[in-house]
Each structure stands twice: as C-alpha cells, then as structure tokens.
Amino acid sequence: MTDPDIAPAPRSASGYDLTPPDAAERAALEADLSPEERRVLLAHGTEAPFCGTLLGEKRAGVFCCRECGLPLFRTGTKFESGTGWPSFTEPVDPAHVKAITDRSHGMTRTETRCARCDSHQGHVFPDGPGPGGLRYCINSVALAFVPAGQPLPDPLRRGDGSA
C-alpha cells in the first residue's frame, strides 16, 4: 500500500533515483573524499589543466559522479578539446547534470553540478562539436570511470544499474 502523502522518489528518464542524500548519507559520502576531491566537488574548485587522470581515458564505459555515483557521461560522447580537461558533448541523461549560472572570476559561465548530490563537476560551453554544439568541460577528480559491463558505484545503495 502506498502512502498518498509521500511523494515518490524523483527519477530521471533513464530510471535513476535523483533524491538528494540526507545529512547522514552526505556526511558518509564526503568522509570518503580526498582533500583534492573535497576542494573541487565541495568548494567548486578546478584541477590544473592536463593533470587529470581521466583526460586520456578512451575505454568504453561510463563516467560517474565521484561523490554519489550517478552516471554523468559516456565514453562515446568524450572528445579531445585541447583544453586540458575531459570534455563531453552530452550527459548520459539531461536530468543528471544541473546548469547553474556562475559569475565568479569576473565572467559569466555555466557551472555543471551533479543533479543528485549537487557536487561541482565543471562548466559547459557553447563551443563543442556536433549537433548540440556543447562542450562539457569536467574535472577528472570529480568523476569515477567505470569500464563497460562493470557495476556502477552505488554508495547510496539505490540499486541503480551497470555500465
């Protein structure tokens, strides 16, 4: 029996639970982060260009949010932008990546955040290839790569899919 006063968990079109972590879940997720991951994901930092471990990653698979495990990008949408950060043309599901206006550093950009845990991922720019023309410029440290066929990280125990 379903309680009519309790709304169902928000889900993306691809079936992932987008319910934000509660305070205890968030504390557990953040406790597992390295100092550099904390600086980028939680304090909206940027890793140095050409230093990220995922810049040259070409294997088939999925790039997930390092903090909560939500799948964000697929290898097939990754391209070499020459900027020094992994770049993608589109997310796994548009509902998985939030766009936030960022007016820091004397310019206006569009920041990208994980739609589930709200962690900073990078920025999106309108100068990418393909029909969409977007370039999601993402920090390697904000992502966890999962090779095709392997189970996706599920630190929130939501039971969401595999690569």
Span 38-73, pLDDT tens digits: 999 999 999 999 999 999 999 999 999 999 999 999
Mean pLDDT of 75-104: 94
**Residue type (1 letter), 43:** A
Tokens of 31: 């406790």
In whole angstroms, what is the distance from residue 107 CA to residue 48 CA? 19
The residues annotated with a catalytic role in the active site are 137
Please check the confidence at residue 106 and state whether its pLDDT lies above 90: no
Sign of dihedral through CA atoms 69, 70, 75, 81?
negative
Tracing tokens 């079109």 back to the chain, one arrives at: 13
Across the chain, mean pLDDT equals 91
pTM: 0.90
- Look at residue 79 in the predicted model and tell me its pLDDT: 95
Q: For the structural domain made of 23-147, what CATH number should be given?
A: 2.170.150.20
